Chain A
Amino acid sequence: GENVEQHPSTLSVQEGDSAVIKCTYSDSASNYFPWYKQELGKGPQLIIDIRSNVGEKKDQRIAVTLNKTAKHFSLHITETQPEDSAVYFCAAGGQGAQKLVFGQGTRLTINP
């Protein structure tokens, strides 16, 4: 079955700097890759996703890149702000898949 590895497990950056979180997956049939943000005391919330027919997707300060050949995808946050502090999860799913496989999570801390 699918296996998703996420790195790093913790990340601390200065406010205004960029943050990058990376994930690798094992199943070449996977073609849907969402990223979720979980704030303290809340459930995860989708922030951006990408499907395998595109290599990059951007939404304001957040971007996701996908390399299907290497089977890895990354989340990029630019101009980080204190409210970006949270736990971030990547996930992978197959064509029309009903279930997702999640990475282990990255705790991102933005230092003022």
Chain B
Amino acid sequence: DVKVTQSSRYLVKRTGEKVFLECVQDMDHENMFWYRQDPGLGLRLIYFSYDVKMKEKGDIPEGYSVSREKKERFSLILESASTNQTSMYLCASSLGRGQTQYFGPGTRLLVL
């Protein structure tokens, strides 16, 4: 079974803090994704990566950056957290183009 793990299930941070969300997949998948999930808005793509050190902006990249130094790990970085970044963050991975995306359990982030 594909396993996608996220470093934290719940996080509470202060406005202005730098926040790191980590995601690891164990199936040698090429593609990795970061989404945020908000009620009534579904899943919105923040960034994705199709190879080590490669990244592409999704639909809502503002206020976020990413890092992929190793194939199995994809990090989402909030340089200076703001209250409007309070959300559920979901990581996913897929073997290749047009392939099934497998999701992690999510990190619920609260920014105070």
Residues of A within 8 A of B (CB): 1, 4, 6, 9, 32, 34, 36, 41-46, 49, 89, 91, 93, 95-105
**Residues of B within 8 Å of A, CB-based: how many?**
27
Q: Are A102 and B42 in contact (CB under 8 A)?
A: yes
Q: Are B105 and A99 in contact (CB under 8 A)?
A: no
Interface assignment of B61: CB less than 8 Å from any CB of chain A? no
Q: Are B58 and A99 in contact (CB under 8 A)?
A: yes
Q: Are A32 and B45 in contact (CB under 8 A)?
A: no
CA distance A46 to B42 in the complex (A): 15
Q: Are A34 and B100 in contact (CB under 8 A)?
A: yes
Residues of B within 8 A of A (CB): 4, 31, 33, 35, 40-45, 48, 50, 56, 58-59, 90, 92, 94, 97-98, 100-106
Q: Are A89 and B43 in contact (CB under 8 A)?
A: yes
B97: which of A41, A97, A102 is its contact (CB, 8 Å)? A97
CA distance A49 to B94 in the complex (A): 15
Q: Given A43-B4, A43-B106, answer yes or no on A100-B101 (Cβ-Cβ < 8 Å).
A: yes
Which chain A residue shows the least CB distance to B43?
Answer: A102
Nearest CB of chain A from residue B92's CB, rounded to whole Å: 8
Between-chain CB contacts (< 8 Å), 30 pairs: A4-B42, A6-B42, A9-B40, A32-B98, A34-B100, A41-B105, A43-B4, A43-B104, A43-B106, A44-B43, A44-B90, A46-B100, A46-B102, A49-B100, A89-B42, A93-B98, A96-B97, A96-B98, A98-B31, A98-B48, A98-B50, A99-B33, A99-B58, A100-B45, A101-B45, A101-B59, A102-B35, A102-B43, A104-B40, A105-B40
